[in-house]
């Protein structure tokens, strides 16, 4: 009976030792998979900028816009293409329209990602 008790105690200790070990291994695997972006940095950040519509590609849910600087991510003002999350945001827009754009910045497997998540016309 004593040996059985010792066996059960040993099992319990083994389980205690094994569980944190597994958790650590999983935590590291997740971290390596994300590269150097920690959990806080991997969360998307959204910044607004004024922009002027240059081109609308509604079929592909894309916009080319001349946007203002976004210092939070080190972007200068420039003209570039964006994926637009909701194609409905492009309805009624035409080249030359002035807008404000909310752009979501994140970390993807291939590097930084960005997309327009909101867009409102402010003038034309
Ligand atoms: Cu840009």
Q: How far is the CA of 75 from the centre of ligand 1 (A)?
A: 6
User: Quick one: pLDDT at residue 23?
Assistant: 42
The CATH code of the domain that includes 69 is: 2.40.50.320
| 12 or 38: which leads in pLDDT | 12
77 and 58: one domain? yes
pTM recorded for the entire structure: 0.65
| 50 or 23: which leads in pLDDT | 50
55 and 91: one domain? yes
What mean pLDDT, rounded, does the chain reach? 80
51 and 28: one domain? no
16 and 61: one domain? no
The whole domain housing 100 covers: 39-123
Tell me: the pLDDT tens digits for 40-51? 455 789 999 999
Q: How far is the CA of 74 from the centre of ligand 1 (A)?
A: 10
Task: Please check whether residue 54 is in contact with residue 64, taking contact to mean a CB–CB distance below 8 angstroms.
Answer: yes
Q: Is the pLDDT of residue 113 over 50?
A: yes
Q: How far is the CA of 81 from the centre of ligand 1 (A)?
A: 8
Q: Of all residues in the chain, what percent carry a pLDDT higher than 70?
A: 66
Number of domains in the chain: 2
């Amino acid at each position: 009976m004593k040996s059985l008790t010792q066996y059960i105690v040993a099992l319990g200790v083994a389980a205690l030792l094994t569980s944190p070990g597994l958790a650590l291994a999983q935590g590291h695997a997740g971290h390596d998979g994300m590269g150097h972006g920690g959990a806080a940095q991997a969360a998307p950040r959204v910044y607004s900028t004024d922009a002027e519509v240059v081109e609308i590609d509604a079929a592909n849910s894309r916009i080319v816009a001349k946007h203002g600087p976004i210092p939070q991510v080190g972007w200068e003002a420039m003209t570039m293409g964006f994926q637009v999350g909701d194609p409905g945001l492009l309805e009624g827009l035409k080249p030359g329209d002035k807008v404000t754009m909310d752009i979501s910045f994140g970390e993807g497997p291939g590097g930084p990602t960005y997309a327009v998540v909101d867009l409102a016309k402010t003038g034309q």
